[in-house]
Amino acid sequence: MKLLLGWKLAIAVAVRGAVGLEYPDCINGPLANSTVCDVTASPADRAAALVKLMSVAEKLDNLVDMAKGVPRLGLPPYAWWSEALHGVALSPGVTFNFTGIHFSNATSFANTITLAAAFDDDLVYQVASAISTEARAFANAGLAGLDYWSPNVNPYKDPRWGRGHEVRDPALFTTTIITGQGVTENLDQTPGEDPVRIKGYAKAFLTGLEGDGPARKVIATCKHYAAYDLERWQGVTRHDFNAVVSLQDLVEYYLPPFETCARDVNVGSIMCSYNAVNGTPACANTYLMDDILRKHWNWTAHNNYVTSDCNAIQNFLPSLHNFSQTPAEAAAAALNAGTDTICEVPGWPPYTDVAGAYRQGLVSEAVIDRALHRLYEGLVRVGYFDPPTSASPAASYRSLGASDVSTLEHQALAFQSAADGLVLLKNVNGTLPLRDVIPFPPVTLTGRPVAIIGHWAAPNAHVLGGYSGVPPYLLSPLHGAELLQLNYTYAAGPPVAAAAAAAAPDAPDGWTAPALAAAGAADVILYFGGTDLSVASEDRDRDSLAWPPAQLSLVEALASLGKPLVVAQLGDQLDDAPLLANPNVSAVLWAGYPGQAGGLVALYAILGLAAPAGRLPVTQYAADYARRVDMTDMRLRPDPAPRPADGRGAAPRRDRPAGESSAAAAAAPFPGRTYRWLPPSSPLSTLPFGFGLHYTRFRARLGVFPTLSFTTASLLAGCANSTAYPYPDLCPFPVTVSVWVSNLAAPQDPGGGVTSDYVALVFAAGEYGPRPYPVKTLVGYKRLRAIGPGQTQAAVVDIKLGDLARVDTNGNRILYPGRYKFVLDVGQDGNGVDEVEFDVTGDEVVLDVWPQPRAQP
């Protein structure tokens, strides 16, 4: 049985120890007079000069993530594995100071899926910039590296995916395992199911993390390239899964975020994934790694590098992908295809045989040199070889230190990142915010007793999500209740791990009676529940989309009391249909994985001290969706055809237990994936992508268009021969698309009305391009802030022609003539609240000619 990667990472840190950073001595060391230490030389020449000094044996020692360096040259060891998805995180390249004050913690912001729900790229940029500031401070203290394996930009197309919010179970990787201390482990997340949202998030995050100055602040890594969204499901694992993807779906859905990373932002690094794509492992796939990544997207300007995911090259062997017969052949296949550094985990043999690949003539010294040139040029560009007193732009980052970590500004930003990602899913008769409160401080419910129930209510490290470090604090709802001096009683409710067992007739129930007792003595019931990392995580996909049975039974029992009942849902999306349909469930608020202050933020929102305005970054599917669709099915469009064979070429299993994809689903029509192909009226969609309510009433309208007719040529005319738009798909829509949003509450309303943000989502719809036509497609978004009662704000939504275009079966992105429609927002019925139609005439225009696949070597 395979170990979970959480254990593998724990073993990596425990066995080798976290390897922090030692800068080369470019003043007095052996390299001081080498070109690599000459800040006036080009980065490429500096890297080449270093590689030229190495022997072949020394070169081979530095092609894996735990690079040994070259002692005789004064080149220190370097760990190419640091994490910073939503804050500096425990990893082989990062350690915390558990014996002192400085560097004992780092700010833990809301995890990606929650931050993405804010639909505010300026906020994403601020968060990423704060993370890289703290990362550089850790590096300067010798506690972290200069490259970080963030962000995860894989589209979250299947709600069962364990890394859609990407988690490793804290029980599997804790500082207890590594240091004897008791904090949390790691996880990461994606920004949701929509490529346009992910592209915006990725661009903002990368600009903040790498910096927008003349030198990189740190090296970011976009992962996992490509078509990766399965961990371990029904006997198929990411280590042996072959993602069979049509060229149309690959170009239209799975690759756009990576195009933004590589072509548009020039990210420093990309990670290739565990899975195979159409028969070839991703890390050996020359079509992905060379034809598309380096040639078509021109990802060559800074000689950037590719890292493998950890132990992905071992997956090439006969027991998994059966692509290579020996470890040496596997290493050669990866290096020759363009993988530049290979991540290994000790205790997980066979190791990658880089030396054997060279000795057997399977990989040339020129390929080895190419990889090392890329790796060391990356380090040159972040100032690794720059003396701290030099005048190089990167040297300025060497001054960052302990005073730049966990600052008050970063703590406030962490709070905002959680608050802005809250999504209100139900609010009967304006139950929320609880209005009879005295403005802070202190806040009370005028002495009325409150029951606070649920496993998420107490301090819980799971609130961080994964890929986490050591936060300065964890603020739970109970902390908030104490801080705000609420008159409350607390009951723990069922643990998530008890969900399956509690469904059994003879399962012990030690939670219902205490919860009902607490609720019976209260006027208001607050339930904090949902999933956690024990349900879905890295190497662990979900089977069910339903609420854990023990929790749902308890919520229904609490609702039967007839008192105001607010459900705050943390963790993954669940099928909320039972809660939405229950008239005695007054409100439902989703918080995801909100970070170090998340529990407090959720309580503050319930009390009206924060107004939720986030939107779902994913579709909330009905529980039956898991029975209808296999995770191994990579299709997106609805299809009446039976389900194809799974990704390994085997027939679909017929022995799935109830509640999972079944043999009956094999003959059923494929319903489609994501909001683009599954209409909100479908019984398989409980809540649509983009859904979110507010504490006030808004009226949103699109601005008036000066013209409602265009030609394909006129749409592109403003970008002809423009250096500002080197690629036609980046050309902006030539007419300003504005939104006008009014807060219909009045200052004289009870409570004075509510000031709230509003996220404007603009979709395109219409019957143009190849059939079938999507229901609609997100083309732009904008968060308007602090719209007061009676106020109106306007904003411009940026829309690019490439996002209006469609992709044909050959992967070409084409601007088609036809009747288009801009649709604003997602109303309570799942439909838009305003729309405008316009015609596009003329010839089809190909914005991007896609390279066609060729035979893999």
What CA–CA distance (Å, rounded) separates 370 from 374? 6
CATH homologous superfamily of 698-848: Immunoglobulins (2.60.40.10)
Region of poorest pLDDT, from 46-50, 306-310, 348-352, 504-508? 504-508
- Per-residue confidence (pLDDT) for residue 215, from 0 to 100: 94
Asked if 382 and 77 touch (Cβ cutoff 8 Å), the reply is no
Secondary structure of residue 845 in the 3-state scheme: strand
- Per-residue confidence (pLDDT) for residue 830, from 0 to 100: 86
What CA–CA distance (Å, rounded) separates 697 from 729? 37
- DSSP line for 506-571: T----SHHHHHHHHHT-SEEEEEEE--TTTSBTTB--S--SPPHHHHHHHHHHHTT-S-EEEEEES
Catalytic residue among 121, 309, 340, 572: 309
What CA–CA distance (Å, rounded) separates 817 from 830? 27
Residue 5 scores a pLDDT above 50: no
Mean pLDDT of the chain: 89
Asked if 780 and 635 touch (Cβ cutoff 8 Å), the reply is no
Residue that the structure tokens 């920004």 belong to = 191
Q: Per this entry, what is the length of the chain? A: 857
- DSSP line for 104-170: S----PPPHHHHHHT--HHHHHHHHHHHHHHHHHHHHTTSS-SEE---B-----STT-TTTTTB--T
Residue that the structure tokens 């005048």 belong to = 391
What CA–CA distance (Å, rounded) separates 683 from 675? 13
Give the strand pairing for 242-243 and 276-277. parallel
- Read off the amino acid at residue 463: V
Q: What is the pLDDT of residues 454-500, one digit of tens each?
A: 999 998 777 777 678 999 999 999 999 999 889 999 999 998 764 44
Beta strands in 703-833 (DSSP E): 709-711, 738-743, 756-765, 777-787, 792-796, 806-807, 813-815, 818-824
Domain ranges of the chain: 427-618, 619-689, 698-848
pTM, two decimals, is 0.93
Kindly state the tokens that stand for 379. Answer: 């380090």
What CA–CA distance (Å, rounded) separates 280 from 290? 14
Q: What is the pLDDT of residues 613-666, one digit of tens each?
A: 999 999 999 999 999 999 999 999 999 876 655 444 433 332 333 334 445 556
- Per-residue confidence (pLDDT) for residue 853, from 0 to 100: 96
CATH homologous superfamily of 427-618: Glycoside hydrolase family 3 C-terminal domain (3.40.50.1700)
Kindly state the tokens that stand for 139. Answer: 């590096």
The Cα angle at residue 815 between residues 813 and 819, in degrees rounded to 5:
135
Kindly state the tokens that stand for 756. Answer: 């709230």
What CA–CA distance (Å, rounded) separates 381 from 341? 17
Q: Is 309 a catalytic residue?
A: yes
Better-predicted residue by pLDDT, 200 or 8: 200
Residue 856 scores a pLDDT above 90: no
- Per-residue confidence (pLDDT) for residue 500, from 0 to 100: 45
Mean pLDDT on 36-41: 97
Asked if 125 and 132 touch (Cβ cutoff 8 Å), the reply is no
